[in-house]
Structure 1
Amino acid sequence: MSVVVITGSAGLIGSEATEYYASLGYRVIGMDNDMRQDFFGPEGTTRWNRSRLEKNLGANYVHYDVDIRDHHALSEIFLKYKQDIALIIHTAAQPSHDWAAREPLTDFHINASGTLNLLEMMRLHCPEAVFIFTSTNKVYGDRPNELPFLEQESRWELDSGHPYSNGIPETLSVDQCLHSLFGASKLAADVIVQEYGRYFQLKTVCFRGGVLSGSRQSGVQLHGFINYLLKCAMTNSSYTIFGYKGKQVRDIIHASDVVAAFHAFFQNPKRGGEVYNLGGGRDSNISILETIEWAQHITSKKLNYSYCDQPRTGDHIWYISDTSKFRKHYPNWSIQIPAPQIMELIYDENKDRWKV
């Protein structure tokens, strides 16, 4: 049986990919040690999602409670399955700007050194496999904030005639700008994934995601804003907007659309460290104020929110992904679930868990 290795398998994208490939008949080897709970406390745990996968997928899912910084533990797993590994999907990460600033060594070792460990596993044990890395738009640092934004009633925008009005392309410089320590560690990982592809001619790819969302994310204040905001609305908890008048714009992509892009690449992979921006693009984007309006509409509750004039360090004023490069290479892929529908799914699928 062909094997798919997925790190962060109990997280949002990892669990979506786990279910998808198990449904196709692959044996999924999942790695997740629930460090999200260490990062964000009990609210951030993914234990519930791991239990759901183990219950629903049976023998098609094998879970390892392993840390991707542990080279020896990874070696044992890859040696066991190396003959059958067709695909590695690397989604495990420390995902928060603020947390990274508190523990930069831990952040870098997880995001950069952990990624290097996995690339070495591929090179040594299964070099014909495909390696998919879940990178981030934060590799561009605050460079997008230099664009000439126009203030509208509920959002910042670019003039329709601007070269980037359709979104940020992969050619935007990642150099000489403020990244946050999280952005820097993810950029280091992004570059090493490219390098293993180019130098060793391996089939590696970086997907630089916008806001990845879906109903199975353990959203917290420091990460997963759509889920967290909806949870606040559903549970009558307070929410804080940080800077930019709440008009900052994010493109939102559902986990299933992310995994569909992964699978398109897996079916027709390229060697040499390809890079794609991946997000909702112009088909699925929303500002904080617009998100609040939709949340109140969906939940029929008024969100209790406050405003802090200080934005988070390195945060984007406006970020929409230009996905034209990926769509050109894989024309059958497109956004299937836009932002408002994503929010409705999060609400419907979490009403019992969040005791609405």
Structure 2
Amino acid sequence: MRILVTGGAGFIGSHIADLALHAGHEVAVLDNLSSGSRANVPGGAALHVADLRDREAVRAVMADFRPDVVNHQAAQASVSVSVREPLLDAETNVLGTLHLLEACREFGVGRFVFASTGGAIYGDLPEGERADEHRSPRPYSPYATSKLAGETYLATYRAQYGLDYSVLRYANVYGPRQNPHGEAGVVAIFCERALAGEALRIHGMHAPGDGGCVRDYVYVGDVARANLRASLGELSAQLLNIGTGQPTTTAELAARLTRVSGHSVPIHDAPPRPGDVARSLLDPAAYRAQFGDPTPLDEGLAQTVAWFAQRLPEKS
């Protein structure tokens, strides 16, 4: 199988590329390196430096590699950036996706895997509820809206042009290689700051000091496995939530991470952030039926902290 991974020099995409190569598939990466790194691209995967907003550049990559599957991870992934700059968000997440879809149509790509958001697309959830795949989307940020637009275009492209696809709605993904400066991810931010002995900031859910928003944290290895299965057409449904169903407040995350890392640092309360939903939690029943139990949070945090700790000498 020839698999093109967009965003393959970034956090999630590089793990997918690794896994696909180890499974014996031919892999190419399309990335503009705005937040990803050449060092993340696994050996054996060809890197094409191109921006999704450049239609001709996207077409050239597709013409050169001729993939069987496009696994689309590249995105403007920050909720706060989308609130500040909704046009920038749409240029990447809507027009960029359309450029890929048009190239898929031109070059006869058979399958498209789309990284969507479960953490933002369902909106605020009432206490005690988890969002399953049948829950109606209620996007609260331009980022969530752009991802829903991508899902809708995929349904249209299947109806009009026969393109097979899978949509994976991620909870809050964390793990090794996450960029605390270029990609969304409080776990990466907390890891870097805790290991450096710097204070952690807990942005409130409704007000400073209330413990912060409730999130569902899912380990990147679990996400990569689901993506490979989706790329091979092995999922039982077109839409799948990728999460754990375990609620964790930002304050609880900080406590668990400092315990796992062995670094005690000051924790400061901060105001809520624009665009953040208060409570985001996925129903993992469909995921568990296909993949078993997801990685426990403390286990995933330990692996993530270990990766960040190994990088400390590089900064000295």
The TM-score with structure 1 as length reference comes to: 0.80
Q: 1:264 aligns with which of 229, 232, 246?
A: 229
1:319 aligns with 2:280: yes
Match of 2:213 in 1: 248
> In structure 2, do the counterparts of structure 1 residues 217 and 184 end up closer, same or farther at CA, with 3 Å as the change threshold?
same
Q: CA deviation at 1:199?
A: 3.4
- 2:6 corresponding residue in structure 1: 7
- Say which SS state the counterpart of residue 216 (structure 2) adopts: strand
Are residue 108 (structure 1) and residue 90 (structure 2) matched? yes
Tell me the residue number matched to 1:302: 264
Q: Which of the residues 100, 105, 121 maps onto 1:140?
A: 121
| Matched ranges for 1:16-27 at <5 A | 16-27=15-26
Look up the match of 2:79.
97
Distance apart, 1:268 and its partner CA: 3.5
1:275 maps to amino acid: L
| Deviation sequence 1:116-135 (CA, Å, 0-9, x none) | 1111111221232x211110
Map of 2:243 onto structure 1? 279
Q: Superposed, which structure 2 residues align to 1:1-356 within 5 Å?
A: 2-36=1-35, 46-47=36-37, 50-53=38-41, 57=43, 60-82=44-66, 85-128=67-110, 130-140=111-121, 142-144=123-125, 147=126, 149=127, 158=128, 164=129, 167-175=130-138, 179-220=140-181, 223-244=184-205, 245-269=210-234, 274-282=238-246, 285-308=247-270, 310-327=271-288, 331-355=289-313
- Note the C-alpha offset of 1:174: 2.2
SS at match of 2:310: coil
- Cα deviation, 1:242-284, whole Å, max 9, x if unaligned, reads 112124321111111112112223334579x9222211224xx
Cα distance between partner residues in 1 of 2:261 and 2:123:
33
Taking structure 2 as the reference length, what is the TM-score of the superposition? 0.90
How far did 1:191 drift? 1.7
- Residues 138 and 194 (structure 1), Cα distance of their counterparts in 2 relative to 1, 3 Å cut: farther
Give yes or no for contact 1:141–1:314 (8 Å, CA) kept in 2. Answer: no
Q: Is the 8 A contact 2:9 2:40 kept in 1?
A: no
Q: Determine the C-alpha separation between the residues in 2 that align with 1:275 and 1:185.
A: 17
Q: Secondary structure at the match of 2:252?
A: helix
Distance 2:182 2:255 in 1: 18
Gap regions ≥5 residues in structure 1:
37-45, 150-157, 159-163
Paired letter, 1:32: D
Cα shift readout 1:16-39 (whole Å, capped 9, x = no counterpart) = 011111112222110111222xxx
The 1:138/1:192 distance shift into structure 2, 3 A limit, reads: farther
Q: Shift of residue 80 of structure 1? A: 1.9
Distance change (3 Å), C-alpha of 1:117 and 1:80: same
CA distance in 2 between counterparts of 1:222 and 1:307 reads: 22
Q: Quick one: distance in 2 between partners of 1:3 and 1:76? A: 16
Shift of 1:139: 4.9
Instruction: Give the conservation status (yes or no) of the 8 Å contact 2:83–2:275.
Output: no
Q: Percent of aligned pairs with the same residue?
A: 24
- The letter for the 2-side match of 1:135 is S
The answer to whether the 8 A contact 1:13-1:255 is kept is yes
- 1:39 aligns with none
Give the drift of 1:346. Answer: 0.9
Structure 2 counterpart SS, 1:319: coil
Kept after mapping to 1: 8 A contact 2:121/2:145 = no
Match of 1:258, as an amino acid? V
Q: Is the 8 A contact 2:120 2:277 kept in 1?
A: no
Question: Counterpart amino acid of 1:66?
Answer: A
**Equivalent residues, number:** 310
Relative to structure 1, the CA distance from residue 237 to residue 190 in structure 2 (aligned partners, 3 Å threshold; closer, same or farther) is farther
SS for the counterpart of 2:3 is strand
318-327 or 117-126, which deviates more: 318-327
Contact 1:194/1:274 (8 A) holds in 2: no
- Tell me the CA shift for residue 314 of structure 1: 3.5
Q: What letter corresponds to residue 225 of structure 2 in structure 1?
A: A
> Residue 102 of structure 1: CA displacement?
2.7
In 2, distance between residues paired with 1:334 and 1:249?
Answer: 23
